[in-house]
Amino acid sequence: MKIVQYAQRGPNPSEFIGAVDVATPTPGEGQVLLQVLAAPINPSDVLTLTGQYGMLPPLPAVGGNEGVGKVVAHGPGVTAPPIGQTVLLPVGSGTWVTHMLADAKKLMPLPNEADPLQLAMMTVNPPTALLMLTEFVTLQAGEWVIQNAANSGVGEYLVQLAKIRGLKTVNIVRRESAIDAVKSAGGDVVLVDGPGLAKRVAEATGDAKIRLAIDAVGGEATNRLSSCLTEGGTLVNYGMMSGQDSVVSPRSFVFKNVTLRGFWLAFWFRNATPQQQMAVFGEIGKLIATGKLKTRVHATYDVADIKQAVAAAAAGERDGKILVVPKD
């Protein structure tokens, strides 16, 4: 089998990573051997490789934090999940591999007939979008939510989840070429970020009172989102794609009573009960299996081509996600 390993971190995320041949393990008591079907490369993975993410595994490390696999062998005492069953890979388990061992009792079965590429992306971005949409402000059908980085993986899921809930979305992107993709995903209003954003948003929404804003960019983009919120609104930040700290004018805090919050999925995993996690992933899994929730795939790469895959994932302009898909 092959695993993707790195022993150093640096500014070039693909520099120190590579595929290594190792012996395929035999499952022990209570374990199963999984054949990995697909595993995405997320922005958090790229930041982990550069050393800029908020939580870094000890070195040497195996890359990848989510994905799906198929049960191919049982260890002693295991009868389920059955051979051939598609399952969600354990979070943070080093998923850029061809095979891996897992505790059978902790695996979540997934529909075998569903697209494995879409299922592979369900652990990080969809729950991030769902939880930011539902945990901070209780929105009613017909209300608006505004987000930037709307053409990102999280952004595209948020558009779809909002529409399922009867919400309307204002979607801010950083380049004209991203507009069509967000509109195709169901975005109600799509605007390019920049000066006069609050005025343009008000014109496009009929002066809607927007109570929730979601920011992945940081820097002055955070301030432009806050200016679009109504009095008492909440702005949730979950990233800094600009590489800059978030900036919010005192006018938003003092005169509009805007609240700035942060969201990190790792904290939610740490505090959520197994029942809460099952409820979130159960909802997401059903939506993906029925085709109601999906995101674009830019390209897939074999494990052996991990350097090219990481370089592609780190590139600025992509039309969708990069996934590691091991060849049979």
Listed in sequence order, the DSSP H helices in the chain are 43-50, 116-119, 125-134, 153-164, 179-185, 197-205, 220-226, 250-255, 265-271, 274-289, 306-314
Instruction: Please count the CA atoms within 13 angstroms of the CA of 83 that sit on its side-chain side.
Output: 4
CA distance 135 to 316: 30
CA distance 194 to 61: 40
Is 53 marked active-site?
yes
Q: What DSSP state is assigned to residue 12?
A: S
Q: Which of the following is catalytic: 53, 157, 238, 301? A: 53
Strand order from edge to edge, sheet including 168-173: 189-192, 168-173, 144-148, 212-215, 234-237, 259-262
What is the DSSP pairing of strand 68-74 with strand 86-88? Answer: antiparallel
Question: Using CA of residue 227, residue 238, residue 44, residue 188, what is the dihedral sign?
Answer: negative
* DSSP line for 176-216: GGGHHHHHHHT-SEEEE-STTHHHHHHHHHTS----EEEES
Mind telling me the catalytic residues? 53
